[in-house]
Structure 1
Amino acid sequence: MRRRSLLTGSAVLAGPVAAAGALGSPAAAAPADPARRPPGRVRTGFDALRRSGYASLAGQRVGVISNPTGVDARLRHVVDVMAGDGQVDLVAVLGPEHGFRGTSQAGQGEDFFVDEKTGLPVYNAYNSAATLRELFTELRLDTVVFDIQDVGARFYTYIWTMYLAIEAAAVLGLRFVVLDRPNPLSGRAAHGPVLQPRNASFVGLKPIAQQHGMTVGELAGLFNDVYVPQATGGRRADLHVERLSGWRRRDRYDATGLPWVAPSPNMPTAATAQLYVGTCYLEATALSEGRGTTLPFHLLGAPGLDHRWQEALTERSLPGAAFREAYFKPTFSKWAGRTCGGVEVQVTDPDAFDPIRTALALVIDQRRLFPSYGWRDQDGGDSYWLDRLSGDREVRLAVERGADLDDVTALWQDDLRAFRRLRRSYLLYR
């Protein structure tokens, strides 16, 4: 690839598909004076890095992979803080899906631009490992820093941008520094199906559980030890994780004291993330998953659906979940401008709520009551989007056979137990 084409915004990896997108309502009104916001109980990896005087970046040419979530407790972006401190040799910023400033929709990165505030060049990191290697080489980086808030779901693409960047760093012999952030779903356990290799895509490249229960720093350790060497002939990156302090594995995001910044246009609140890890399954159907409304992944439905769906779901008495009969009209995405009937999902007890089991109940009852709405066919033939989101085509096939919840969830328990054993070795917080 010619230098000019590489350094003006690299081509996006062929075929990555976003698991997030569409505009939603803001989570809540911002504080009147962000500069006065008191620090939360939890301190992020960036806090640790800054307190150390940027020791892990000393003498290095540094590129930062980040997006709007890379902020400190006072809502200042870490790139702005580092540039202002003058203690880090910042060379460039790289943005994942949706971009560094978050201006792009699902399945897109931002084109090259020069950041007006810092003067730093900003490149597209929503790419293949090969393209990232070329970009890191052209920029003559010594260290790549990753600081992005994850949402705890395997199909959220930022962790796969991190994986590909670690792979590129391993090949080039670069240091990779992760500024850790909490898992907003808590880190108590992993849940759901584990990706099968035949269903790998940019919404799941390696066999981890759908709700992985790990921080990005913990995932980086697993990736670097287990999966990166498989792709690089045994090489690993020089990985360093700046750890959280004050975070307990049982903590969901509302217990951290940290400000929430929407990590993608359709993830306005931490409560959305708790549903998204399950109700993203509705992306794999002809139903709207609430894109184009103020309640993405809470509002679900399509034209012609009625009260029967809500009644069937309520009858199941699913722990921690309640369902309201709802009608809505998306402004864009599926069924834009059409009145949809369906449900609003509410979480009544976060500790009892099982988002993946709840999502399966939604799909099973919808197909039984309103069978005219089928699967979203991703690539034609026998490739379905649900296979990629769940990571296991047997989930879809079981639903098609008429299996109910217990039969479907039983399919992945052996693989999940194996992943939980593997995961345990990489947990940094007890």
Structure 2
Amino acid sequence: MFRIGLEVFLQQDVPTRFGDRIGFLSNQACTNRYFRYGKDLLQEKLAKRLTCLFSPQHGFYAEKQDNMIESAHHLDLTTGLPIYSLYGEHRKPTEEMFDQLDTLLIDLPDIGTRVYTFMYTMAYCLQAAAQYGKKIVILDRPNPLGGEQIEGNLLRDDCRSFVGMYALPMRHGLTLGELALFFNKEYAIGADLEVVAVQGWRRDMYFSDCPHPWLAPSPNMPTLEAAINYPGQVIWEGTHVSEGRGTTLPFSVFGTPYWQHDEVLAFLQRYPLAGCVLRPLLFEPTSGKWAGNTCTGFQLHIQSRKDFNSYRVGMILLQAAMLVYRQQFEYKKPPYEYEYEKLPMDLILGDRALREALEAGESVVTLEQGWQAELLDYDRRRRCYFLYQ
């Protein structure tokens, strides 16, 4: 029987160690299999013990479209409880917020990628719980990309930000509950932490293998395919190349008005693009980069999830944009996710030297070989926190 952590928790008695006041951090993608919001189900179970709610980036209903668009605290009309925004004036819960609870339940979707901010909202909650003597309980969900494959270089200390607080590879291969255990121990946070595990999930399962509905965790993550593409396609956020925001296929289509299909494809001949096909097309974003302009670009189609390495493909495409169009190519300028000085591309890649090597034309294959030792070390350490086989 497959059950997410929320469904498992709802079937259990609530331990007395959780205290009389319980808060809940979630968003609109956090439902049971019948599309009922966790906040409403928990109020039915806990009654007055549920005292307050919290929301991550984009707001509880994921109504805020873009990065660095903050949401305010407000009252939830169905439960009558306050919703404290953790993507506004504060990204870390304050003492006043945590004064209203003994235990914080966290049920957040994650898409298995280092730069997705929900895991860092969870990490800030761990830090606050350790500071104020509260308990954290993660109601776990599957990693939609599965738990076997990992991709990319580890984050460097000088590239830390709200899209990268800890030394993870781009595709980290852990669930949110496993990440919480990893952060709490590896970085000596020391919070009182428990995880309610998913029942019936295995590491070889993508979300499409799970009998649970896919709900967009954020406004521009409409499909599982977009999530699988994301570890590589998110790189475009650090450039003026459209990553497909403002279209119906974000993180699946990409391009600019000045690209030429044949020029990009000629550069790509030097690299094998395993597990995927690039289909040439034109598209016109209705918002975001190049809004109202016809872009020449491609749609990324995955043919084999096992062979597809999104981050490798993303770096190859980035290098094509850098080198084929040296005069036109531009990086996005700061700010980016509350970092006002460092280049957004360095925060996304997690290593300024990697960006410089790509600019210099170094082979992506050679660059990948250079980080295999640290990736293997990360793989060894993450296995200590596995909750699933």
If the TM-score is normalised by the length of the shorter chain, which range does it land in? over 0.9
Residue 149 (1) aligns with residue 105 (2): no
Given that 2:18 and 2:103 are in contact with CA atoms closer than 8 Å, whether structure 1 keeps it comes out as no
TM-score (norm 1): 0.85
Higher mean C-alpha deviation, range 416-425 or range 266-275 = 416-425
Question: Helix, strand or coil: the match of 1:94?
Answer: strand
- 1:291 aligned to 2:245? yes
Cα-to-partner distance string for 1:314-365 (whole Å, 9 max, x where unaligned): 6744111100111111111111111111111110111111000110111112
Correspondence for 2:2 among 42, 47, 50: 42
Distance 1:378 1:224 in 2: 30
1:369-420 CA-partner distances (Å, limit 9, x unpaired): 2222132233599832121111111210110111122122123222212211
Whole-angstrom CA distance in 1 between matches of 2:128 and 2:215: 28
- Map of 2:302 onto structure 1: 347
Report how far residue 188 of structure 1 moved: 0.4
Distance in 2 (CA, whole Å) between partners of 1:313 and 1:429 is: 38
Tell me the amino acid that sits aligned with residue 147 of structure 1: D
Deviation at 1:59, TM superposition (A): 3.6
Residue 297 of structure 2 aligns to a residue whose secondary structure is strand
Q: Aligned to 1:64, which of 18, 24, 32?
A: 24
> Partner residue of 1:377?
333
Give the whole-Å Cα distance in 1 for the aligned partners of 2:194 and 2:181.
9
Match of 2:72 in 1: 111
Q: 1:197-234 deviations in whole A, cap 9, x for unaligned? A: 100000001111111000000000011112243xxxxx
Map of 1:33 onto structure 2: none
The answer on whether the counterparts of 1:187 and 1:250 sit within 8 Å (CA) in structure 2 is yes
> Partner residue of 2:289?
334
Say if 2:82 is the partner of 1:126. no
Aligned partners of 2:141 and 2:198 also within 8 Å: yes
Is 1:396 the equivalent of 2:351? Answer: no
Q: Structure 1: which 5+ residue stretches go unaligned?
A: 1-40, 230-235
**Identity of aligned pairs, percent?**
35
Q: SS of the residue aligned with 1:336?
A: coil
TM-score normalised to structure 2 length: 0.93
Question: Which runs of no fewer than 5 residues in structure 2 stay unpaired?
Answer: none
2:284 and 2:237 mapped to 1: Cα distance?
17
Question: Is 2:221 the partner of 1:267?
Answer: yes
* Gap change, CA 1:129 and 1:294, over 3 Å in 2: closer
**What are the Cα deviations for residues 165-221 of structure 1, in whole angstroms up to 9, with x where unaligned?**
000001111110000000001000322111111000000011111110000000000
What does the per-residue CA deviation read over 1:17-72, in whole Å, with 9 as the maximum and x for residues that have no partner? xxxxxxxxxxxxxxxxxxxxxxxx53111111111133377543111110011111
Q: 1:368 aligns with which of 304, 319, 323?
A: 323
Contact 2:71 2:88 in 1 (8 A): no
Can you list the C-alpha shifts for 1:261-299, whole angstroms capped at 9, x where unaligned?
111000001110000111111111221111101111111
CA contact (8 A) 2:147 2:175 kept: yes
Residue 383 of structure 1 aligns to a residue in which SS? coil
Q: Partner residue of 1:12?
A: none
Q: Which amino acid aligns with 1:388?
A: L
State whether residues 92 and 125 of structure 2, in contact with CA within 8 Å, keep that contact through their aligned partners in structure 1: no
Cα distance change of structure 1 residues 314 and 348 upon mapping to structure 2, 3 Å threshold: farther
Secondary structure in 1 aligned to 2:106? strand
Give, as a single letter, the amino acid of the residue that structure 1 aligns with 2:227.
Answer: A
| Corresponding residue SS for 2:170 | strand
Any conservation in 1 of the 2:5–2:196 contact (CA below 8 Å)?
yes
**Alignment RMSD:** 2.0
Do the aligned partners of 1:65 and 1:125 also contact (CA within 8 Å) in 2?
no
Separation of aligned partners in 1, 2:71 and 2:201: 32
Cα distance in structure 2, aligned partners of 1:314 and 1:348: 18
Given that residues 128 and 164 in structure 1 are in contact (C-alpha distance below 8 angstroms), is that contact kept between their aligned partners in structure 2?
no
Q: Name the stretch that deviates more: 275-284 or 152-161.
A: 275-284
User: Corresponding residue for 1:253?
Assistant: 207
Is 1:171–2:125 an aligned residue pair? no
Indicate the residue corresponding to 1:421 in structure 2: 380
CA–CA separation in structure 1 for the residues paired with 2:137 and 2:148 = 24
Amino acid aligned to 2:73:
F
Choose which of 149, 153, 158 in structure 2 pairs with 1:189.
149
Corresponding residue for residue 49 of structure 2: 89
Task: Give the secondary-structure state (helix, strand or coil) at the position aligned to 1:425.
Answer: helix
Amino acid at match of 1:353: F
Question: Does the aligned pair in 2 maintain the 1:150–1:183 contact within 8 Å?
Answer: yes
Amino acid at match of 2:71: E
